Structure 1
């Protein structure tokens, strides 16, 4: 008999059938995009530290803390000497910052003449050719999977939207998400334990996951939409489409009119910094240098704001023709400027980057466990898929191995394609091993051990090669990256190093 004094039980916001439908959609979407999401999250966790990786690639590059305007003029003049004066389409100088203490000179020439980037010393003279083969490879793998014709960009954009849908559906499918946040189910079946860990990791990192998923979807959709708008509204004129966000782009001039002198950058720097007090000088670029319609762009950095950059453009006579004025723009446009630093964690120093890296790895763990839950459920129902289990293990541990193998060739060769070939070799080898009828556990242990060896070997060989050039000239960030690689290698190898205790006779 019901007690009239007892309060009625609260009904769930969603019915069981509704929750089951959400879970079914969550599982289907996760299965469709799991491999792409895992690779994108894994590379994204590394790309967060792209500046540190660039310093690791060339630890002997000259360190510069401050640059005078006269040195910038000398550096630009040196750039023009690298190729024919009438071939350069743009020259730029990136000034040192606390996170990247290097003076970088870059030139982009017509048909490749004089193109390239160089590290310069404090006087502005080019000292070393820039080689960022590994970091460039990782960025492209994260952004477009190294696929041509925009195919990779579309796949990454779809994966970003799928990730956002997975985060939202995962929340909707767990009405007790807050109550169960610190209740980790253990002691039951393997599948129940995996599901509990999957749900708890998703709950603990939910704010981060929402931010990353939303910004990933936003960036992917924006790139596609921007290309479509440029092709329609601007009739394919990328100059006009790009000018609305980053300022006008100087049109290519006639061959005979591109040998004129370049103005000194000092007055332009003084005008830009005086108009924006509190902002630090970040870059200078000259478009169509020497031409009558050349444009001088000044980039400013605001370390106190998410909108990290402001840009001012002048003509050769010193007249301001464009100013980004990001903080005065509508909120929708401000979001476009802020979305990239928010997505990659490039706004709060090394501790924010470390948090992004760890939380990014947690997203890899959530993706890996989600697919494994599905495989375990099939095995529990008597419908195992051993081949698929091995292929998924090859994905989870084969990709870290492939990324380590991508960096190793760069220690011995300057070939631009070496990282891509190393990654492809590691990926093919992992999936080839998965084709043999071995156990999933043995395959996973083997790939974990190979990944640990590759990471440790990469760190030790890199440190040895760096030391041969003299310890005094090595960038401290290089030592930090090597130490991090050794630490990661230890944690990867630790489960495989545990020895089983021999059974003692009773």
Structure 2
């Protein structure tokens, strides 16, 4: 507890309340989508139904990549990107020189080297996420920039990060019994007291997490939208290429002399040994030329928080540089920047840290919505009534829209629909939730959306199976627990929404009225 004079305490209470009310719904959307995005890799494994047991970047690649380069037109060999796709497939992207008219080729290569799918055309049209990974990619992008065009989307999430920081710090300062609030929930008390206990309890548990999330999220959002452009303007007269050359090193002198490609398999083996972990992404720049480069991005090794970026000569296969997360030399700032991603997404200790981050994110969502309702309970005017309805629509409409995105994803899988179906499902469900929230009486909005979300989530395992994804028997036989555990988790969340909807519809038939005082 921080003992403050009454005047300062009232000011902090006002800051805490108005921050939550003014930006609370935006803050809730960013935190809620982030809670889901923390589990994006697990959601991708469940939704894609992959039964692969070997990462595609850990097998022999040189022959398949060589064929892809030879078969591509000369103008589409400027860069070749390699990454993992679903079902043990290798994703190969070939691109020509960057520009508004850039074209490319995307290939899905099977473990035996056969090309399973090929997409040609303008680079902007074929850069959509791989259909088996479209759901996870959509959820991450929704959190990162709320699907607002760059750089404005990053600015919006950056504002939400600053609002979360202000709410967390002011909440910490005004808490009179922080340790006591962590364990206090008076279930038999009046509804107002129970609501306040729930808000204080969720906020107290999530307080350290909220500070970490706010700081790291703000750094990511503002560095992309304002930080790097400002640094380039101040230090290099606005020349961003000069800035990134200083951070990552200047490009090699252009030398189009034909040269044999380095053995990619030998490079990958060397990178894995140096990094102590499997490569996750590979870029070949100007393959077949004397100035070629191979950049290998590796996951953090066991016990580490940051991975390696290894740069090789593309002709000889010689290691040229082991890059830092930020900058070319070791520094405190670079180390701190490298820690931002694992701390923000909670993947620094495997599944345990991810589950903890998801649970704390849920606590932050409960505290945010609960705080708005507590603020509204002391007011009785038309604006408060409108904000109450908006809170119900956004608070419960977002989970319903997320279920709609998953339903759209599974609906589009049989035809290879890709991200368009996922986005369409999200927007259709969001529109339905908005219409229902406007048309229904205020007291019925929450229960109706909770029930709809529960039903929608309960249908997802059946939709997944109907889309041709593997069942539990095949998944368990392959030793892949993501499919059955994902189904069980979705059904458990569906049951929770249905459980909360039924009592809410029966125990209090009176509408919520702003102005009903909370003791």
**TM-score band w.r.t. shorter chain:** 0.7 to 0.9
Please, what is the CA RMSD of the aligned residues? 3.2
Distance 1:418 1:201 in 2: 35
Give the match for residue 53 of structure 1: 43
Q: Is the 8 A contact 2:409 2:425 kept in 1?
A: no
Distance 2:454 2:13 in 1: 36
Offset at residue 480 of structure 1 (A): 2.2
Offset at residue 407 of structure 1 (A): 1.8
- Cα distance change of structure 1 residues 148 and 82 upon mapping to structure 2, 3 Å threshold: farther
Q: Is the 8 A contact 2:51 2:87 kept in 1?
A: no
Give the match for residue 11 of structure 2: 21
1:436 aligns with 2:439: yes
1:118 aligns with 2:108: yes
Give the match for residue 408 of structure 2: 409
- Cα distance change of structure 1 residues 135 and 247 upon mapping to structure 2, 3 Å threshold: farther
Q: Is the 8 A contact 2:53 2:88 kept in 1?
A: yes
Give the match for residue 420 of structure 1: 423
Partner secondary structure for residue 466 of structure 1: coil
Give the match for residue 479 of structure 1: 484
- Cα distance change of structure 1 residues 158 and 280 upon mapping to structure 2, 3 Å threshold: same
Partner secondary structure for residue 233 of structure 1: helix
Give the match for residue 4 of structure 1: none
Partner secondary structure for residue 78 of structure 2: strand
Higher mean C-alpha deviation, range 212-221 or range 471-480? 471-480
Question: Who wins on radius of gyration, i.e. which is larger?
Answer: 1
Residue 106 of structure 1: which of 92, 103, 123 is its match? Answer: 92
Alignment of 1:11-410 (within 5 A): 13-60=3-50, 62-65=52-55, 71-80=60-69, 83-94=72-83, 102=88, 104-110=90-96, 111=101, 113-116=103-106, 118=108, 120-121=110-111, 123-127=112-116, 130-131=130-131, 132-185=133-186, 189-223=190-224, 224-246=226-248, 257=256, 261-269=260-268, 271-272=270-271, 276=274, 278-315=276-313, 316-325=315-324, 329-379=330-380, 385-410=384-409
Q: Is the 8 A contact 2:80 2:93 kept in 1?
A: yes
Distance 2:203 2:109 in 1: 43
The Cα offsets for residues 404-440 of structure 1, whole Å up to 9 and x where unpaired, read as: 1112122232143222222222222222222226132
Q: What stretches of structure 1 of length at least 5 have no aligned partner?
A: 1-10, 502-506
Offset at residue 84 of structure 1 (A): 2.0
The Cα offsets for residues 238-292 of structure 1, whole Å up to 9 and x where unpaired, read as: 44433455555578x79xx597643212443455456x37454444321122333
Offset at residue 228 of structure 1 (A): 2.6
Distance 2:246 2:61 in 1: 28
Count matched residues: 479
Give the match for residue 124 of structure 2: none
The Cα offsets for residues 277-311 of structure 1, whole Å up to 9 and x where unpaired, read as: 74544443211223332111133333334433111
Higher mean C-alpha deviation, range 161-170 or range 181-190? 181-190
Distance 1:489 1:186 in 2: 23
Higher mean C-alpha deviation, range 43-52 or range 228-237? 228-237
Q: Is the 8 A contact 2:94 2:106 kept in 1?
A: yes
Higher mean C-alpha deviation, range 211-220 or range 301-310? 301-310
Offset at residue 446 of structure 1 (A): 0.7
Give the match for residue 445 of structure 1: 447
Offset at residue 191 of structure 1 (A): 3.2
Distance 2:173 2:296 in 1: 47
Distance 1:386 1:152 in 2: 29
Give the match for residue 510 of structure 2: none
- Cα distance change of structure 1 residues 392 and 325 upon mapping to structure 2, 3 Å threshold: closer
Offset at residue 56 of structure 1 (A): 2.7
Offset at residue 350 of structure 1 (A): 1.4
Q: What stretches of structure 2 of length at least 5 have no aligned partner?
A: 119-129, 508-519
- Cα distance change of structure 1 residues 270 and 394 upon mapping to structure 2, 3 Å threshold: closer
- Cα distance change of structure 1 residues 108 and 371 upon mapping to structure 2, 3 Å threshold: farther
TM-score, structure 2 as length reference: 0.82
Distance 1:448 1:48 in 2: 23
Q: Is the 8 A contact 2:457 2:494 kept in 1?
A: yes
Q: Is the 8 A contact 2:461 2:487 kept in 1?
A: yes
- Cα distance change of structure 1 residues 307 and 500 upon mapping to structure 2, 3 Å threshold: closer
Offset at residue 451 of structure 1 (A): 0.5
- Cα distance change of structure 1 residues 112 and 120 upon mapping to structure 2, 3 Å threshold: farther
Offset at residue 128 of structure 1 (A): 5.9
Distance 2:330 2:69 in 1: 36
Q: Is the 8 A contact 2:199 2:367 kept in 1?
A: yes
Partner secondary structure for residue 179 of structure 2: coil
